[in-house]
């Protein structure tokens, strides 16, 4: 199984400041034949299902604000929120869909400082 | 707009079988582009992928659960289902049904809490 490890486990950031969440996979999720990283990011608010933010490591889902961006390749990835808004308080998960069993990171809880 | 809705008992006794159905509306489960998945989340914890099924019946399982999981699809009803046998308290979780495109999950149901308790 590919193990996904996020850091930090929790994060407190002031409104308007940058938030950065890291995700490391235990093996590469870059598929060489199409040069795509099989890595997604999800946002989950209390009592709600996760919401897709980013796929292919850096492609923003339709309707997701452009303050959310994803980067990285191979085994190391980052989700960045450029200017934190109050509505961004949530738990964020990375997810590898390179192979089965599909796996998720343990989650990073983002709060307002 | 695609909607997925889980249904099934919210309480299951230990050693019995958990059974859930996901009803898909606003889209066809027979679309060639998608897999249909079950994912669970124990209270206060992270996400665990259980299994995925294609409309033709092709299945991917999580090996950690494979011996206890049955997943099926009913294209005539636009539904797919999950059965998890021999449940224990460790199977208590919110169970989500979801749609996968290119393997990543694009849409989720609201989730249903299943508690395993006598």
> Virtual CA dihedral for B34, B36, B42, B43, nearest 10 degrees?
70
DSSP string, B54-86: -TTS-EEE-TTTGGGEEEEEETTTTEEEEEE-S
pLDDT in tens, B42-92: 999 999 999 999 999 999 999 999 999 999 999 999 999 999 999 999 999
pLDDT of residue B56: 92
| B69 min Cα distance to partner chain A (Å) | 14
Q: What is the token pair recorded at B11?
A: 């309480």
User: Cβ of A103 under 8 Å from any chain B Cβ?
Assistant: yes
Cβ-based contacts of A34 with chain B (< 8 Å): none
Chain A contact set for B109 (CB, 8 A): 49
Q: Which string of b and e fits A32-66 if b means at least 16 CB within 10 Å?
A: eeeebbbbbbbbbeeeebbbbbbbbbbebbeebee
Q: Rounded mean pLDDT of A56-62?
A: 98
CA distance A68 to A53: 8
């Amino acid at each position: 199984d590919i193990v996904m490890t996020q850091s930090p486990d929790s994060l407190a950031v002031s409104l308007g400041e940058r938030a950065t969440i890291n995700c490391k996979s235990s093996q590469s999720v870059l598929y060489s034949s199409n040069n795509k990283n099989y890595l997604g990011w999800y946002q989950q608010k209390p009592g709600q299902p996760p919401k897709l933010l980013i796929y292919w490591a850096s492609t923003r889902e339709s309707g997701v604000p452009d303050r959310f961006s994803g980067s990285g390749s191979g085994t190391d990835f980052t989700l960045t929120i450029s200017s934190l808004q109050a509505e961004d308080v949530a738990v964020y998960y990375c997810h590898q869909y390179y192979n089965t069993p599909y796996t998720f990171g343990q989650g990073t809880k983002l709060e307002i400082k | 707009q695609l909607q997925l809705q889980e249904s099934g008992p919210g309480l299951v006794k230990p050693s019995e079988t958990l059974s859930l159905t996901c009803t898909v509306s606003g889209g066809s489960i027979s679309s060639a582009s998608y897999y249909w998945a079950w994912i669970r989340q124990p209270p206060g914890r992270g996400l665990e992928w259980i299994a995925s099924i294609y409309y033709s019946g092709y299945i991917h399982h999580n090996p950690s659960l494979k011996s206890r999981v049955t997943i099926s699809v009913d294209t005539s009803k636009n539904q797919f289902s999950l059965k998890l046998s021999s449940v224990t308290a460790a199977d208590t979780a919110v169970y989500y049904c979801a749609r996968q495109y290119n393997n990543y999950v694009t849409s989720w149901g609201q989730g249903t809490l299943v508690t395993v308790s006598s």
